[in-house]
Structure 1
Amino acid sequence: MAQDSEDLVSDYQFWLQKLSVWEQASSKETQQDTCLYLSRFQEFLRRMYEILKEMDSDAILERFPTVGQLLAKTCWNPLILAHDESQKILIWCLCCLMNKVPRTPGESELNSWIRGLLSYVLSAFRFDMKEVGLFTKSLGFEPIDYYPSLLKNMVLSLVSELRESHLNGLNTQSRKKIILSTSSVVSLWFRHFPSLEKATLHLFEKLFSSKRNCLRGMECCIKESLLPQAACHPAIFRIVDEMFRSVLLETDGAPEVLAALQVFTLCLAEALEKENKQLKFALKTYFPYGAPSLTAALSQHPEAIPQGHRLQPLLHISQLLREAIEDSTHGSQRGPFESWFLFVHFGGWVDLAMEQLLRKEAEPPAGLLWLLVFYYSPQDGSQQRERSMVALKELLNRLLMLLGSGPLSAVDLQEAAESPSPPICAQLVRCLLLSLLLWTPEGHASAREAITRMVHTDAAAHEIVGFLDQTLFRSDHLCDEASRKLARELLQELQAQV
């Protein structure tokens, strides 16, 4: 450490002089010089922090008597502060100078001065008061109340955490979390979008890092993240939604990502209901690429529709989706994908469509067949989709005939599921079979044997576990108590195997 300290002293005067030059001139050449040296200066700040965090404030001022001057000049340089990494390291260094328990008026005065610098770094750099007023008003704050509470929470938490070795690499059991009020966190995300992106990525890590996260667990993680509350404002929702879109594309529509997006949408709807009786913003501001009529239809609560009145809204949604896709610009993939991406936010409609198709007293409506084929195979063209609809109808008719011809045989069900021609999406076939086994009384007796035959790979097992978990998550409006009990038992048995 002594050698590091000596090396730092040799660079110290160079950077203090550089900062003075940058401070005195705002010419294009000065700006270019600042940008040229920025990465080296960040490295210097990081090395300084590594030294400062090992010293108490008295020793710091004795060793580096002008360190406050250097950090202040850094705070007032907009080109340095414009870089998130610089802001972060600068805050660390400033917190090292603070006395946790000031003993003299001089130490109290130093703490007050440092808080002023932190206030500038954390708040004043990004916005002037007029701009602050625009977004604090939408959150129900007055600007005069926003800065003091935000700063007080952040500074006290940062100082406490830094002093408890949170940032020095020690793994202590006593290190405390930074705790901010919900309003302060949301306000920070409005002011600094990179912190919002980091919070969303952290949520994704929690949701997708484990083998299988149940939907109730996902719901708990999502609510604890505060992101649904923040996403009530369209500006934040759009950022989080774009990140979901990217993960969906990168994972080729992985079921766990779809499930997380749908749970997040449910949590957002709940937060909106708690926050206001009616939307402050039009639905178009949340989903700008979807047709307003389609967005309005999808945003209804499907579970609130009485059992005998569910077919009509489903057919209406199917028609609107089909029109949106067929009317999209020739050769453009934006229309179909955007329509699908909007649709998958509201997965409850897919469950209702499956339920309606399994009603034995009705001919399968073409609109519901189209809806399911589109949901599970959005990449198909119109001709392939039509062929899949024909095959799905044939499969459905075979399954319904088996239902009406006495006790169900697991072997017969398997043979029926393997015979669609042309082949249709395997995931759609499995979901149709599982729905029949769980949601119809006739299917309960052969459910265990049929599912055992379907679990031939780890991927299939995880998919079935996901379906059972989803059934229980949405069971209030999907199935009766007998179906829920069977789903719970099967889920426990399968989870013990995978």
Structure 2
Amino acid sequence: MAEPLISVQEMQLWLEKVMAWGQADSPDNQRDICLHLSRLRDFLQKLLTHIGSMSSTTEAMKTLPLLGQFLGQLCWIPYVTADAPSRALLFQCLWGLYSEHPDNAMERKANQWIRKVLCQITTDDDDGAAQALLMDVGLPPAEYHLKVLKKTVALLRENIGKSCSSPCGISQRCSCDRILATSEACVPLVTCPEAASLIGALLQTPLTCTKAALSEDFLDALSSAYSCQRLSLEEQAVVSLWYHSLSSLEEAVLSLLESVLANTRPTPQRLEQQLAQSLLPKACVQHCSIFLVVNDIFRFTLKQAEENESVRRLIQAFTSCFLRELALQEPRKRVPLKAFFPQSPQSLLVPLLTKPSEMPQDAWRHHLNWLSGSLQRLAEEEEDRDGDGSTRGHHKLFEAWFLLVRCAHWVEVAIQLLVTAGSEDCSLLLWLLSFYHHPTNRGHHRDEQLVRIKEAWDHLHSVFSVVGHPLPVDRLQSLAALLSSQPQLPSPAPVSILNLLVNSAVFSQQSLNASTEIFHTVVDRSGLVEEAACALSSLELRLNGGSCSSSDANRVHLRIKALQNTLAHMHAHASTH
């Protein structure tokens, strides 16, 4: 045990002096405090050195049994705590006694007491005598407590900057102990605006040492206050909170899912705006571990709601925002894609995550045929395994489909190519479209749906190839029937057919008037006005991202605008009846 720097007798003398100061408020007492403040500061500095030389709080308390009582008495003497140097030394002594990992009941009780003292010292005191005493010092109680709070926060900020730069042994004491103590001390302050910068600094402290941990109580208090909107944090502090607190991150993702699913037909533009405001894509780029948690929640949700279009749109929009944020990051800081998608088939990863705008348009068909062929082989392998009860193939195919859902821009490009195709074989593109909505044949009836989609595709080619009037009424009626034949909308086949209709109206060589008439007739008879508006918005968003040649851009956007006006008139007409 180290030789104490302060004797028990010296501590006894100072304790008696401090107790006398606290028992009466008289001019003589005030003069005595002022006379002894300088010596008190010297003693506190000596005491701080003594505490730092001890291996634990237990040892410090054993060498000076009156230490806790002495510090506790000082905390309630305004003439001492109003003196900035004395207050700083007093608080530092308290931090020094805080145990990162309390080993016994005494250390746990000391930690509890320190937190209580900090809480009381930074909140209003209703005791009339104490308030009168503060008035004698020349400070209104509210102003005094605010000053103490600000000084406390400033001192705690200093502690954060004193962390070490390398890991320490378990038995060693290092300055990083203060990080845990500081976060514990912040628990009662989390909703105080004055502590916002301190909280942000704590959350963003580099974890260079194993001892530079944040208190679970602190993280729980932050999560609770933030979710109840009683705490305002800067963007980077929110990201850091999610990094430190799994429960806070999960709550943010589930809240996003809930808000998206509450709106069954959010526009793609609104969805991306909502995602950007959530900070989640940015957080995922900064911390791969956050991305993996978000990804797991999306994976589970998709398994539970495979046919829910809103869930798919959310996952696609999230991936788009994530890839955009990733592209903005400095290359030297960028984490390899494989780390973000460890379960995805690696042969499909880069081909699917590559955006259509990143390659020449004349390469799209070859790229999509390769993707469709690769996915088709995976699907066939899974179906071959169905007989032996293996689940490995199911997992591999699901992960491939999950990645396709994330990168549904390639499905949208496949639809565009289907409606602009001439005499080319489109069987692989049709299969990809069917697979996107029906990843397995078990319960999804992919083969049957493929027949329905091909039938609709043939009808659309026939209808949009007609020159002049009259339009083939029987074909239009068949299309409307295919769109509305299933009772629960939007179900997979109608969604595929509706996207084919929208793309045909936009990209076909049919005149604008004729295309608009076909579009209006089929949508009106099927009753899918809102779904058609959402499909048009999604197409417009993709084309704005560069997936359209400059020569076609004006023509295509004019046709989109005309179709949107048609839907607006249909919606207005429906509202008046």
Q: Among residues 430, 436, 440, which one is paired with 1:375 in the alignment?
A: 436
Post-superposition Cα deviations, 1:352-377, rounded to whole Å, max 9, x if no partner, equal: 10111112423232221111110011
Give 1:204 deviation, angstroms: 2.5
Q: Following the alignment from structure 2 to structure 1, what is the Cα–Cα distance between the partners of residues 328 and 452?
A: 44
Q: Among residues 463, 483, 493, which one is paired with 2:559 in the alignment?
A: 483
RMSD: 4.9
Q: Following the alignment from structure 1 to structure 2, what is the Cα–Cα distance between the partners of residues 92 and 255?
A: 52
Matched to 2:313, the amino acid is A
SS of corresponding position for 2:251: helix
Q: Counterpart in 2 of 1:247?
A: 301
Q: Counterpart in 2 of 1:204?
A: 257
Q: Counterpart in 2 of 1:470?
A: 538
Structure 1 stretch displaced more, 109-118 or 364-373: 109-118
Post-superposition Cα deviations, 1:225-250, rounded to whole Å, max 9, x if no partner, equal: 11111111321111112222233333
Contact preservation (8 Å) 2:260, 2:266: yes
Q: Counterpart in 1 of 2:498?
A: 430
Matched, 1:159 2:192: yes
Aligned length, in residue pairs: 393
Q: Which runs of 5+ in 1 are unaligned?
A: 1-22, 25-68, 80-89, 133-142, 164-174
Contact preservation (8 Å) 1:377, 1:425: no
Give 1:454 deviation, angstroms: 3.4
Question: Which of 1 and 2 has greater Rg?
Answer: 2
Q: Following the alignment from structure 1 to structure 2, what is the Cα–Cα distance between the partners of residues 95 and 495?
A: 59
Q: Following the alignment from structure 1 to structure 2, what is the Cα–Cα distance between the partners of residues 267 and 147?
A: 35
Give 1:296 deviation, angstroms: 0.9
Q: Following the alignment from structure 2 to structure 1, what is the Cα–Cα distance between the partners of residues 446 and 272?
A: 33
* CA separation of 1:77 and 1:289: change in aligned 2, threshold 3 A: same
Q: Among residues 516, 519, 540, which one is paired with 1:447 in the alignment?
A: 516
* CA separation of 1:360 and 1:319: change in aligned 2, threshold 3 A: closer
Give matches, 1:60-459, under 5 Å: 98-99=122-123, 158-160=191-193, 178-210=231-263, 212-232=265-285, 233-277=287-331, 280-328=334-382, 330=386, 331=389, 332=391, 333-380=394-441, 385-386=446-447, 388-407=449-468, 408-409=471-472, 411-416=474-479, 418=481, 425-442=493-510, 444=512, 445-448=514-517, 450-451=519-520, 453-455=522-524
Contact preservation (8 Å) 1:438, 1:447: no
* CA separation of 1:379 and 1:116: change in aligned 2, threshold 3 A: farther
* CA separation of 1:336 and 1:78: change in aligned 2, threshold 3 A: farther
Identity of matched residues, %: 24
Give 1:468 deviation, angstroms: 1.9
* CA separation of 1:199 and 1:461: change in aligned 2, threshold 3 A: same
Give 1:107 deviation, angstroms: 7.5
* CA separation of 1:152 and 1:212: change in aligned 2, threshold 3 A: farther
Structure 1 stretch displaced more, 389-398 or 190-199: 389-398
SS of corresponding position for 1:425: helix
Post-superposition Cα deviations, 1:128-181, rounded to whole Å, max 9, x if no partner, equal: 98789xxxxxxxxxx99x999999999877213999xxxxxxxxxxx9874333
Matched to 2:250, the amino acid is E
Q: Counterpart in 1 of 2:87?
A: none
Contact preservation (8 Å) 1:119, 1:151: no
Q: Following the alignment from structure 1 to structure 2, what is the Cα–Cα distance between the partners of residues 239 and 393?
A: 39
Matched to 1:397, the amino acid is D
Contact preservation (8 Å) 1:472, 1:487: no
Give 1:113 deviation, angstroms: 6.2
Q: Which runs of 5+ in 2 are unaligned?
A: 1-56, 59-93, 105-113, 125-139, 169-175, 197-227, 487-491
Q: Counterpart in 2 of 1:87?
A: none
Contact preservation (8 Å) 1:283, 1:292: no
* CA separation of 1:343 and 1:119: change in aligned 2, threshold 3 A: farther
Q: TM-score, normalised by structure 1?
A: 0.64
SS of corresponding position for 2:369: helix
Q: Counterpart in 2 of 1:135?
A: none
Contact preservation (8 Å) 1:318, 1:370: yes
Contact preservation (8 Å) 1:468, 1:491: no
Q: Following the alignment from structure 1 to structure 2, what is the Cα–Cα distance between the partners of residues 178 and 312?
A: 52
SS of corresponding position for 2:191: helix
Structure 1 stretch displaced more, 277-286 or 357-366: 277-286
Give 1:464 deviation, angstroms: 2.1
* CA separation of 1:162 and 1:283: change in aligned 2, threshold 3 A: closer
* CA separation of 1:294 and 1:235: change in aligned 2, threshold 3 A: same
Post-superposition Cα deviations, 1:56-99, rounded to whole Å, max 9, x if no partner, equal: xxxxxxxxxxxxx9xx99997799xxxxxxxxxx9999768624
Matched to 2:478, the amino acid is E
